[in-house]
């Protein structure tokens, strides 16, 4: 008799969503002698997806309708397909999609500093749309990327929202509007800003050296980094009894052993979406695997058949993503503002203020209602991250924080919508604690409100269907997108890059329309 898998339909769709780009990359970027065994490793790891589905509750039609509408509207305002104002990051992102559609994989950019160069970036978000574009053109690729984004958002919301009724609506509002208290930080730094408040202002750089992005900011600015992290957190949260909400599907109030075995390959796939987001997800994956092995009193999950295929695939992905990474700026944030003990103390105080406003106060309110080891882990990560700087805009802090922030958002949703309180929390005390959390979330909601306002108020700008990455970057080769090849071991595995021809319209593509629109708004 064939054993049913513990993975339900939503689990399977999520895993396929995360791993489909990995399969495309292996076939399109690596040589055949490497691609075949690695695709077989991926297929072997995903074999439980082919098992019969478990019996259990289906999604209520009302939840499907609400989640589909919410997910599509949220995605629409994010700027995909440019139906509304798209934030400045889309200027380069559109160019990356152009190059993936117009170029031969792997995409190259000719010689850089006397060495062959290629597009080296987390491509997971782009590859399904780029594959559509290869068959149907660049406009179809942009439409596919919008649908792909909406599909990821809908899957995430299905994972984390309550089943029905008012709790569903409240939960949706909490997820979409979840943010740290950026408005307080902004007003502390510039009290006069209130007198000349602009509803399109981006609030999250108030600390200067780093930011923690709201859920809406992540979707509107960096869905390529956010979606993989969100969906991985959703998988971990919905099948963990510590995190499952009251009223959740009974099948997911207990362990999900088939998901446990998939986690190493999911991390490898997530790295292709965003290596820094994958790094931020690793502590939660390790926490899950260690807990499962402890409960089972078994080393089943340490067997090479679980981690071996993921190690083989992940090694190639890691070697690709770290190509020429030395060009990316890095360092420490403590002591950078000046020399001496005073500067260090000043930086630590600013760090403490940042943590409390962005995560600490909300995290404490969540724990007061619903104790959770995962929330404690998330807060510890968010406390430590700002010590490190990596990337021109400190991408390390912004991207590694994505799983922890998503986990806090889901935990806040659960704390406000769970049906049955814990035995240690009763009546009026629970109401007060929920009121405090709701008040903190309401203050934080100013940040996503600003993001929605910018999309609604500012003029939309059309997709540039001609600009290459290099032309959109004003003739430069951005180090976080372009790598130089010089005898690295990965060159024996990758196909030879094919250089895109020079763009005769490079000068015209250099100007970022999103920034021009913002400048015209503030310039008389």
Give pLDDT tens digits for 435-494. Answer: 999 999 999 999 999 999 999 999 999 999 999 999 999 888 888 899 998 878 888 999
Q: What b/e string do you get for 214-237 counting C-beta neighbours within 10 Å, with b at 16 or more?
A: bbbbbbbbbbbbbbbbbbbbbbbb
pLDDT in tens, 501-521: 876 666 567 889 999 998 887
What pLDDT does 239 receive?
Answer: 75
What pLDDT does 56 receive?
Answer: 67
Q: Which has the closest alpha carbon to 60: 152, 150, 162, 153?
A: 162
pLDDT in tens, 295-318: 888 888 999 999 999 999 999 999
Distances (CA, A) of 166 to 66, 79, 178, 419, 432: 11, 29, 18, 11, 20
What pLDDT does 326 receive?
Answer: 73
pLDDT in tens, 334-353: 666 555 676 678 778 888 99
**Residue 416 scores a pLDDT above 90:** yes
3 state SS for 309-356: HHHHHHHHHHHHHCCCHHHCCEEECCCCCCCCHHHHHHHHHHHHHHHH
Residue spans of the domains in the chain: they are 10-52+60-456+467-522
Q: What's the average model confidence in pLDDT over 53-72? A: 88
The pLDDT-based confidence of 253 (bands split at 50, 70, 90) is very low
DSSP run (H or E) holding 84? none
Task: Give the span between the Cα atoms of 462 and 162, in whole angstroms.
Answer: 37
pTM, full prediction? 0.94
The answer to whether 81 and 33 have CB atoms below 8 angstroms apart is no
**Residue 251 scores a pLDDT above 50:** no
Counting residues of the chain whose pLDDT is more than 90, the rounded percentage is 69
* Token pair listed for 60: 């209520």
* Token pair listed for 50: 């082919």
The answer to whether 5 and 49 have CB atoms below 8 angstroms apart is yes
Q: Mean of the per-residue pLDDT values for the chain?
A: 89
Q: In what order do the strands lie in the sheet with 115-119?
A: 482-484, 115-119, 107-112, 498-499
Give the residue, 228 or 492, on which the prediction is more confident. Answer: 228
**Residue 168 scores a pLDDT above 70:** yes
**Residue 191 scores a pLDDT above 70:** yes
What pLDDT does 255 receive?
Answer: 65
């Amino acid at each position: 008799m064939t054993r049913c898998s513990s993975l339900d339909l939503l689990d399977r769709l999520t895993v396929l969503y995360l791993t489909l780009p990995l399969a495309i990359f292996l076939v399109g970027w690596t040589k055949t002698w490497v691609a075949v065994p690695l695709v077989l490793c991926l297929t072997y790891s995903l074999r439980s997806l082919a098992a019969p589905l478990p019996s259990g509750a289906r999604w209520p039609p009302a939840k499907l309708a609400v989640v589909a509408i919410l997910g599509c509207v949220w995605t629409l305002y994010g700027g995909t397909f440019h139906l509304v104002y798209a934030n400045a990051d889309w200027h380069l992102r559109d160019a990356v999609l152009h190059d993936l559609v117009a170029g031969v994989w792997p995409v190259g950019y000719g010689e850089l500093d006397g060495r062959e160069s290629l597009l080296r970036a987390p491509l997971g978000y782009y590859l399904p749309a780029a594959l559509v574009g290869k068959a149907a053109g660049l406009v179809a690729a942009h439409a596919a990327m919008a649908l792909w984004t909406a599909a990821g958002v809908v899957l995430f919301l299905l994972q984390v929202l309550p089943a029905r009724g008012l709790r569903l609506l409240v939960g949706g509002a909490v997820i979409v509007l979840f943010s740290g208290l950026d408005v307080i930080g902004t007003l502390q730094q510039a009290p006069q800003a209130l007198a000349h408040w602009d509803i399109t202002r981006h609030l999250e750089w108030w600390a200067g050296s780093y930011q923690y992005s709201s859920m809406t900011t992540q979707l509107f600015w960096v869905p390529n980094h956010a979606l993989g992290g969100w969906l991985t957190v959703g998988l971990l949260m919905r099948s963990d009894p510590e995190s499952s909400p009251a009223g959740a599907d009974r099948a997911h109030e207990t362990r999900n052993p088939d998901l446990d075995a998939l986690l190493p390959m999911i991390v490898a796939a997530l790295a292709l979406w965003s290596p820094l987001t994958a790094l931020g997800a690793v502590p939660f994956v390790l926490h899950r695997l260690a807990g499962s092995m402890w409960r089972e009193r078994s080393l089943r999950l340490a067997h090479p058949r679980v981690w071996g295929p993921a190690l083989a695939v992940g090694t190639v992905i890691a070697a690709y993503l770290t190509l020429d990474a030395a060009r990316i700026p890095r360092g420490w944030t403590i002591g950078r503002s000046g020399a001496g003990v005073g500067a260090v103390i000043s930086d630590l105080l600013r760090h403490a203020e940042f943590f409390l406003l962005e995560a600490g106060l909300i995290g404490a309110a969540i724990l007061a209602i619903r104790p959770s080891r995962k929330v404690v882990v998330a807060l510890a990560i968010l406390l430590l991250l700002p010590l490190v700087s990596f990337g021109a805009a400190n991408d390390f802090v912004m991207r590694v924080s994505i799983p922890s922030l998503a986990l806090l958002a889901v935990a806040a949703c659960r704390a406000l919508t769970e049906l049955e309180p814990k035995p240690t929390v009763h009546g009026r005390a629970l109401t007060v604690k929920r009121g405090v959390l709701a008040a903190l979330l309401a203050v934080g909601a100013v940040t996503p409100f600003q993001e929605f306002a910018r999309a609604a108020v500012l003029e939309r700008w059309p997709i540039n269907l001609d600009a290459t990455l290099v032309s959109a970057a004003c003739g430069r080769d951005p180090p976080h997108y372009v790598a130089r090849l010089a005898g690295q071991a990965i060159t024996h595995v990758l196909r030879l890059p094919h250089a895109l021809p020079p763009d005769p319209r490079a000068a015209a593509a250099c100007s970022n329309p999103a920034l021009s629109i913002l400048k015209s708004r503030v310039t008389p």
